[in-house]
Amino acid sequence: MELIVARNREDLVKARRGGDVALVPTMGALHEGHRSLIRQARVRADQVVVSVFVNPLQFSPNEDFSRYPRTFDADLDACRAEGVDVVFNPAVEDMYPPGRQVSVSAGEMGTIVEGAFRPGHFDGVLTVVLKLFNLVRPDLAVFGQKDAQQLALIRRMVADLDLPIEILGGPTVREPDGLALSSRNRYLSESDRRVALTLSRALRAGAAQFDPSQIRATAQDVLDAAGPELDLDYLALVDPATFREVGESHEGTAVLAVAARVGDTRLIDNVTLTLNPH
């Protein structure tokens, strides 16, 4: 079946057909990480919808909204290759009509870790995700684990607002050298990329520690060795559901998360590990 491009709400209604619907929300500039999410959705659903929308609400005034890569023709090619049924590509004015006043609040979890460095970011994320849920009406939606706090907040929103949608998380896809795939990687110079590899090296070093008290310290040592070329925002060991910091006595799953700026590019990464297994 030919790929349908829905540019507005009316197109989206016409494109919908019966059966289970899966949504993969993206901001475009699709890479192998996105494609892996699409494949996960394809296995589970009769119809796969990929949204391509650079959401202005999740960018602060000093962030890279205008610079964010837009590669729509290449995105369509990737969606065709993965068997996507519908690409939803609305204009900003269609998603946010004049006079809009109501937004979703991410609550306390939206103000910690990543949220402490990007005030209002997660409010913007949850607002656009809820709007996409209401427009597409999916049975399930797939998000990447690389944005672990975003995934946790979307799960919290679905639970708190009683949304009848199953949320699936897709594993982080990496380059052969370990760098987590990101649409922003294209901004890295060759020398920046070498520095950026410190993030995944630090996470691997921390996750390899058996003693919980050494996880953060070991990862921090690796980050410090990168020198001033790596501007660290945070290194945090957190509960994957709440993103609150966990202590050495924590039992079960935890997320070791990092964010840093390399040159003009801000990158995030994380790994999931198990503390104090029985």
Q: Where are the beta strands (DSSP E) in 53-123?
A: 86-88
Which spans in the chain are helix H?
9-15, 32-44, 72-81, 92-95, 114-117, 121-136, 148-160, 190-207, 212-225
On whether 58 is known to bind a ligand per the annotation, the reply is: yes
> How does pLDDT run across 223-263, given as a tens digit for each residue?
999 999 999 999 999 999 999 999 888 999 999 999 999 99
184 is in an annotated binding site: yes
34 marked as binding residue: yes
Check residue 8 and report its DSSP letter.
Answer: S
Q: What is the pLDDT at residue 183? A: 94
Q: How far from the centroid of its chain's Cα atoms is residue 95's Cα?
A: 20
Whole-number CA gyration radius for the chain: 19
**pLDDT tens digits for the chain (278 residues)?**
799 999 999 999 999 888 999 999 999 999 999 999 999 999 999 999 999 999 999 998 878 788 899 999 999 999 999 999 999 999 999 999 999 999 999 999 999 999 999 999 999 999 999 999 999 999 999 999 999 999 999 999 999 999 999 999 999 999 999 999 999 999 999 999 999 999 999 999 999 998 889 999 999 999 999 999 999 999 999 999 999 999 888 999 999 999 999 999 999 999 999 998 86
Tell me: is residue 29 an annotated ligand-binding position.
yes
Quick one: DSSP state of residue 210? S
126: its two tokens? 């949850």
Q: Is 144 annotated as a binding residue?
A: yes
Residue count of the chain: 278
How confident is the model at residue 62, as a pLDDT? 78
Q: Report pLDDT for 114.
A: 98
34 is catalytic: yes
Angle separating helix axes 148-160 and 121-136, nearest 10 degrees: 60
CA distance 219 to 204: 8
What does pTM read for this prediction? 0.96
pLDDT per residue as tens digits for the range 160-188: 999 999 999 999 999 999 999 999 999 99
CA distances from 62 to 66, 79, 106, 114 (A): 11, 31, 21, 16
Contact 49, 21 (CB under 8 A): yes
Rounded to whole angstroms, the Cα distance separating 278 from 268 reads 31
150 is in an annotated binding site: yes
* 36's tokens: 């892996």
146 is in an annotated binding site: yes
Angle ∠(273,276,277) on CA atoms, nearest 5: 80
